[in-house]
Amino acid sequence: MSNNARAEEALRFLVHFIGDMHMSLHLTSRPWGGNGAKVSFNRYITTAHSINRFTLALRLPPPLPMPLNTPIPLFSMECNLYRAIYDL
C-alpha cells in the first residue's frame, strides 16, 4: 500500500471515528450530550462535547494531494467499488 493510500485510509478512519463519537454525544441524555462529561485536553479541563465540537473541528487538516472537485473517471471508480462495502 502506498503512503498516499495509507494516509487516505487513516484520514477516512479518523473522520469516521470522530463522527461516530460526536453523534453518540447527541444521542444520549446522560451526561447531557457530553456537556456534563469533564475531560482534560491539552492541560485544560473542559467537556467532551466542547472538544468534539470546537477544539477538534477548528484545527485545519493538511492540504489534500489533489482538489476535491477533480473528476474521477466513472469506470475507475466502479472497478474500485465492485464487491466493496462502503458508506455513502
In-domain check, residue 60: yes
The Cα–Cα gap between 64 and 35 comes to: 33
In-domain check, residue 86: no
pLDDT of residue 77: 67
In-domain check, residue 25: yes
Residue range(s) defining the domain that contains residue 44: 3-81
Q: Is 55 in contact with 41 (CB distance < 8 Å)? A: yes
Q: Give the gyration radius of the chain's Cα atoms.
A: 17
In-domain check, residue 87: no
pLDDT of residue 17: 78
Domain count, the chain: 1
- The pLDDT tens digits along the chain (88 residues) read 788 888 888 888 888 777 766 666 666 555 566 667 787 877 888 877 677 666 666 666 677 776 777 666 666 667 777 777 665 5
| pTM of the complete model | 0.34
